[in-house]
Amino acid sequence: MHAIAMHDEQQLPEHGPLAGFTVGVTAARRADELGALLQRRGAVVLHAPALRIVPLADDGELLAATKEIIDQVPDVVVATTAIGFRGWVEAADGWGFGEQLLGRLRGVELLARGPKVKGAIRAAGLTEEWSPTSESMAEVLDLLLEEGVDGRRIAVQLHGEPLPGFVESLRAGGAEVVPVPVYRWMPPEDIGPVDRLLDATVSRGLDALTFTSAPAAASLLSRAEERGLAGELINALHHDVLPACVGPVTALPLQARGVDTVQPERFRLGPLVQLLCQELPRRARALPIAGHRVEIRGHAVLVDGDLKPVSPAGMSLLRALSRRPGWVVGRADLLRALPGAGRDEHAVETAMARLRTALGAPKLIQTVVKRGYRLALDAASDAKYADA
């Protein structure tokens, strides 16, 4: 997937729930899958991986942790993710330590965070001793603390995600914790796509920004700090760009900066996309204008359910008019709303003519001689907005 929005290649399905919206994807892993799910529902996708994954075969920290576990067998091993556990075993096999590692894991208390991890453990010829039905690390922690961890050696397979309080609680209980850092994250080698995604976010060129890992959220915030854009980024996420996270752990870096996020009940990509399909249309401005129902989306407008792609200049004008529906907006105010228009008020007339053509219903916008333009709100709505 490319780090640019390709409108020609991403044809918007008729009445797709995300038609007319642009969604940013920060994921490094499974980005193609998430992007395809969004595009099938009509979204234009802007992808920029905020991180890159250190190749397991080159990861000296994972190799060192594997050797340590082989040399000093832990009492407990906690497996947190299926892909991480499989990757660890495969990497150990590539280094020539696969059989030794599996032999050590057969003799320990092996805990699996959920059913997918159980499947990975059994595929490796091992058997987990216990797994919570909730897939919650908090439940794993409760079990360990109930058993007592003082003096026990506990290896925890990490997966680039923070485990809030997990390792600290074990150490506070007297355990010796051995982190196994599977799939460590680092900043991307090419920072250009991330910068373009940041620019699109702060300029409100996105309607939503998705996060599938806490390190990606932290990395984007860090890059914004480096560029002096942190305040603008947080302001955009507060007011105009919807931050959507796959789960509560992913949201932690954003919450630490006071940013509220939306999250699906089930922490999976499919439910994340379904959540966007509900939230973005709900946030779109819908108005009854000149006998039509007009819904203003990110880069397009629905007129009686028909999708009308509109240029950025046209969308700027339409948003300026919709802030006070039915009220006359002067040419000078509309000129200020036009990006890069300078001081030529004829630019407003040109952009307005193109906007009317794009909407396919010229009577939606009225010209008020010598004053400016207004949305032709239906009479009942006109009175309502006048009273507001």
Following CA atoms 377, 378, 380, 381 in sequence, which dihedral angle do they give, to the nearest 10 degrees? -30
Q: What fold does the segment set 56-183 form as a domain? A: Rossmann fold (3.40.50)
pLDDT surpassing 50 at residue 331: yes
Following CA atoms 125, 128, 132, 134 in sequence, which dihedral angle do they give, to the nearest 10 degrees? -10
Q: Which CATH architecture has domain 22-52+188-283?
A: 3-Layer(aba) Sandwich (3.40)
pLDDT of residue 380: 59
Residue boundaries of the structural domains of the chain: 22-52+188-283, 56-183, 285-387
Mean pLDDT of the chain: 89
Q: Is 172 exposed, middle or buried (0-12, 13-18, 19+ CB in 10 A)?
A: exposed
Percent of the chain scored above 70 by pLDDT?
Answer: 91
C-alpha distances (whole Å) from 178 to each of 69, 152, 238, 299 are 8, 11, 38, 50
65-116 per-position pLDDT tens digit? 999 999 999 999 999 988 889 999 999 999 999 999 999 999 999 999 989 8
The sheet with strand 306-309 has its strands ordered as 285-289, 292-296, 300-303, 306-309
pLDDT of residue 231: 96
9-40 per-position pLDDT tens digit? 344 445 689 999 999 999 987 899 999 999 99
113-132 per-position pLDDT tens digit? 989 899 999 999 999 999 99
Q: What fold does the segment set 285-387 form as a domain? A: Arc Repressor Mutant, subunit A (1.10.10)
Do 22-52+188-283 and 56-183 have matching folds? yes
Its pTM surpasses 0.75: no
Which string of DSSP letters, residue by residue, matches 144-188?
HHHH--TT-EEEEEE-SS--TTHHHHHHHTT-EEEEEE-S-EE--
Residue 3, helix vs strand vs coil: coil
Q: What are phi and psi of 53, to 5 degrees?
A: -95, 130
Please give the helix or strand (H or E) that residue 193 lies within, else none.
helix 192-202
pLDDT of residue 337: 86
Pairing of β 76-79 and β 372-375: unpaired
Q: Which residue has the tokens 């947190």?
A: 80
Tokens linked to 199: 């620019």
